[in-house]
Structure 1
Amino acid sequence: MTKKWFVLLLSCLALGPVSPVFAQITPTTQTTSFAQTDTSRQQIAIFTPLYLDTAFDMAGNYRFDAKTFPKQASQGLEFWEGAELAIDSLKKEGIKMDIHVYDTKMPTQRIDSLLASEAFKSTDLIIGQVTATEAVKFANIAAAMDVPFINVNMPSDAGIQNNPHYVILSSTLLTHCVGIYRFLQKNYSLQEIIVFRKKGVQEDRVRNYFTEFEKTTAVKLKLKYVTLENNFTQDQLELYLNDEKPNICLAGSLDPLFAQTLCQQLALLSKANSPNVVVGMPTWDQIDFEKSQYKNLEIIYSTPFYIAPTGKLAASVLENFKSTYYSRPSDMVFRGYETLYHFAHLLKLYGKNVGSSLSDKKYMLFSEFDIQPVINRTTMTHDYYENKKLYFVKKVDGVVKTVY
């Protein structure tokens, strides 16, 4: 989006409570009093990082010039912009709810006061773009209030146990590792797979997840683990590759810099008529693989969210942003849109029973959710819900060739 639009949107949020017909925007950044709610309508609270106190002084004046925008607020605003698109859709469908948005970057005492207020106790559903610490706080509040908390971005259980009110949309590393192993079983079960990794705690976690899942499956992959030092070279990689046929490689690290170096070196060792294949981690979704240094390499990675640009609604959102804001919407715009739209419909459909109906696949817009309970194998209790749906995106020369 343009800086002008961001500044305008920030300014509107900083003015205080605004009440459209079907939504109530409640930033609560300049005051400790909270907007009154219509108790006859269902209430949804959205928490997202807006950094309003950073952008505005105590008098409500914007701290920067009109051409400057605090970059840390981008994702939070984009998520809210997507939520506003969902509100427009809900309004057109005649669904009446109160939607409140709160800045997670307001002072801690103000958030605590909000969560303890009588007005907030009427909330029926909490949606948050959060950090791990915030996830714990909102999950505990949701459990106390007996309402669902939808964590839209943090791919972590945050150490939460025995809390079926907690819902993780961005699948955890364990889920990705299990999904990647199954993907390799389905497509490369008879071939040797070279797992390139580096030293590190996260890398050990990845290997342990593969090893633990391997114990439970009949089809064992032929995995060969290779630990690379920092600043590894093309010659060092070549020692482990077969130059007579395509090599199937797996990147056993979440580090995007490691991923880029590995892919660049594998591309140089790849042939156009029989390219090497490298399967990567969910962090690869943020890497620009259109650059020439990745030419002649098949790059595959897992992601819980995939927006098909050919979809009618997605194309409409893309065109709207292009004509209105002269820019391309980020993934968080689509995430805000589909999350609020889907779960608002479930809340309307099931009311107080929405927590036990989260697996319902109705009203999905862009990505498919497969929300399943996660059972603690030690205590045999229901720890939380998680989106188990994974897409596998194949890119060749920067172009999406296949989505599995």
Structure 2
Amino acid sequence: MRFTKWIFLLAGIIFTSFAFSLKAQDSAIVKLPDTLRAVKYKKPVLTILLPLYLDSAFDASGQYRYGKQFPRFMLPGLEFYEGVQLAIDSLKKEGVVLDVNIVDTRSSQSLGNILAQSVVKNADLLLAHISFNELKPLAEFANDEKLPFINVNLPNDGGVTNNPYMVILNSTLQSHCEGIYNFLQRNYGKGPIVVFRKAGAQEDRLKAYFSDVEKATMGTALKLKYVTLPDGFTEAQLKIHLDSNRITMAVAGSLDEGFARHLAIHLATLNKTYPVQVMGMPTWDGIRDLDKKEYKDLEIFYSIPFNPVRTDALSEAIGRHFKDNLFSRPSDMVFRGYETMYRFGKLLQEQGPNISSSIGEKKHKVFTDFDIQPVLLDNQKQQLDYFENKKLYIIKKLNGAVQTVF
């Protein structure tokens, strides 16, 4: 039944995407009070670029290609789209008037041809769920067109510099290191902190980020002890760096998921006699089995840029919608689609073409307290690099229970 619902939704996207394209050609008039109806206003245009894979899913006759299967690679874009649609419904009820265009970045067209479409070039704001290879050309296009572009999902600058029109919502690794360091500084400044890592270029980059934060800190610097572990490290190799008389904070200085699991399992065992807590990297949010018995009683922390709390009335309503209509639970991508469409849709209606200067306004919160700040390429010259969401949430997982602690 869930599979059938997704297929109907895909078919619906084909129709609505076509309808949105027609709408984008129409310069409709915003409904205004009598005193203003003589003045014509063009609706603000918001274009959303998503990997929907419609050309892959259906053949020229409209037949679904995958039989009774539903490819997992289609889910992120589809779930984001569902969140966008729910937000559009909410905005309509509030009388928000926008021209919204959905563009499939996985259509048969090249990215260059996609960016040449009028619904992209004539937009007032771009929201994009993109891949790494698409980031730089899309950012360059936005800069050339002086068109604000919000990178919703990719936690990377993609080598983009000197671009005041790019906004990164999913905070970069460097920002996560800053947030983790600040959290440790506030809560573990007097205790032992051991950074367990493995050899590698990525791990060296993480260490460099922490070193940069340490040099710039206004408070007392943390005394981080770095320990490079061999492949297949043992509990004995961890134990010599722990203290049986007080809690040690162990930081996982690697993004590798295999390393993360191996470290956490060993620390959970050692925790019985050597009290320890572990600070993971943002990638730990993707490890779905941290509530298993192998991690019993180990307090696990990590950072994420989007609010994970789902106890508010709106989150519960979205959950009911998915349960009743798709026989499933909404993923984080659904909530991300909803809050970006709603928040920036409201802001676009208010600001219109001037939205670039107001993109960081802290208003129209849905789930996340976005803190969009300029990132400087050159601090002395105050040269702007791009904008980035600097708000991070530190969450704690313990025996399956999830709690926001910072």
Given the two structures, how large is their TM-score scaled by the length of structure 2? 0.91
Q: 1:271 aligns to what?
A: 272
Cα deviation digits, residues 46-68 of structure 1 (max 9, x gap): 11111122211233221122x31
Q: 1:184 aligns to what?
A: 184
Q: 1:6 aligns to what?
A: 6
Give the AA of the match of 1:184.
L
SS in structure 2 of the partner of residue 86 of structure 1:
helix
| 103 and 17 in structure 1: CA distance in 2 versus 1, 3 angstrom threshold | closer
| 293 and 126 in structure 1: CA distance in 2 versus 1, 3 angstrom threshold | same
Query: What CA distance in whole angstroms lies between the structure 2 residues aligned with 1:290 and 1:119?
Result: 45
- 8 Å CA contact retained: 2:303, 2:395: yes
Q: 2:171 aligns to what?
A: 171
Cα distance, 1:108 vs. partner? 4.4
Quick one: percent identity of the two aligned structures? 47
SS in structure 2 of the partner of residue 14 of structure 1:
helix
Query: What CA distance in whole angstroms lies between the structure 2 residues aligned with 1:242 and 1:115?
Result: 57
Query: What CA distance in whole angstroms lies between the structure 2 residues aligned with 1:341 and 1:15?
Result: 22
Q: Does the alignment pair 1:96 with 2:136?
A: no
Any unmatched runs of 5+ in structure 2?
28-41
Cα distance, 1:401 vs. partner? 3.5
Query: What CA distance in whole angstroms lies between the structure 2 residues aligned with 1:267 and 1:332?
Result: 30
Cα deviation digits, residues 126-172 of structure 1 (max 9, x gap): 00111122111221222222221000010111111111100000000
Q: Does the alignment pair 1:321 with 2:327?
A: no
Equivalent position to 1:38, from 26, 32, 38 = 26
Cα distance, 1:122 vs. partner? 2.0
Give the AA of the match of 1:315.
E
| 211 and 42 in structure 1: CA distance in 2 versus 1, 3 angstrom threshold | same
Q: Does the alignment pair 1:129 with 2:117?
A: no
Cα distance, 1:16 vs. partner? 6.9
Give the AA of the match of 2:387.
Y
Cα distance, 1:2 vs. partner? 1.9
Q: 1:29 aligns to what?
A: none
SS in structure 2 of the partner of residue 215 of structure 1:
helix
Give the AA of the match of 1:254.
L
Cα distance, 1:340 vs. partner? 0.7
Q: Across the two proteins, how many residue pairs are aligned to each other?
A: 389
Q: Does the alignment pair 1:343 with 2:344?
A: yes
User: Which region of structure 1 is more displaced relative to structure 2, 82-91 or 230-239?
Assistant: 230-239
- 8 Å CA contact retained: 1:14, 1:56: no
| 16 and 365 in structure 1: CA distance in 2 versus 1, 3 angstrom threshold | closer
SS in structure 2 of the partner of residue 221 of structure 1:
coil
SS in structure 1 of the partner of residue 79 of structure 2:
helix
Cα distance, 1:92 vs. partner? 0.3
Cα deviation digits, residues 307-327 of structure 1 (max 9, x gap): 312111111111221222221
Q: 1:112 aligns to what?
A: 112
- 8 Å CA contact retained: 1:275, 1:297: no
SS in structure 2 of the partner of residue 180 of structure 1:
helix
Q: 1:149 aligns to what?
A: 149
RMSD (Å), alpha carbons: 1.8
- 8 Å CA contact retained: 2:198, 2:254: yes
Query: What CA distance in whole angstroms lies between the structure 2 residues aligned with 1:199 and 1:53?
Result: 43
Query: What CA distance in whole angstroms lies between the structure 2 residues aligned with 1:95 and 1:16?
Result: 19
Q: 2:333 aligns to what?
A: 332
Q: 1:384 aligns to what?
A: 386
Q: 1:205 aligns to what?
A: 205
| 326 and 403 in structure 1: CA distance in 2 versus 1, 3 angstrom threshold | farther
Given the two structures, how large is their TM-score scaled by the length of structure 1? 0.92
- 8 Å CA contact retained: 1:254, 1:283: yes
SS in structure 2 of the partner of residue 54 of structure 1:
helix
- 8 Å CA contact retained: 1:282, 1:303: yes
Query: What CA distance in whole angstroms lies between the structure 2 residues aligned with 1:130 and 1:328?
Result: 23
Q: 1:56 aligns to what?
A: 58
Query: What CA distance in whole angstroms lies between the structure 2 residues aligned with 1:94 and 1:35?
Result: 17
Cα distance, 1:215 vs. partner? 1.2
Cα deviation digits, residues 10-61 of structure 1 (max 9, x gap): 1222357443xxxx2x4xxxxxxx7652232111111111112221123322
Give the AA of the match of 1:322.
K
Mapping of residues 79-94 of structure 1, within 5 Å: 79-94=80-95
| 17 and 176 in structure 1: CA distance in 2 versus 1, 3 angstrom threshold | closer
Q: Does the alignment pair 1:240 with 2:247?
A: no
Query: What CA distance in whole angstroms lies between the structure 1 residues aligned with 2:336 and 2:16?
Result: 25
Query: What CA distance in whole angstroms lies between the structure 2 residues aligned with 1:212 and 1:119?
Result: 42
Give the AA of the match of 2:45.
Q
- 8 Å CA contact retained: 2:47, 2:119: no
- 8 Å CA contact retained: 1:164, 1:384: yes
Query: What CA distance in whole angstroms lies between the structure 1 residues aligned with 2:316 and 2:405?
Result: 18
| 137 and 108 in structure 1: CA distance in 2 versus 1, 3 angstrom threshold | farther
Q: Does the alignment pair 1:224 with 2:212?
A: no
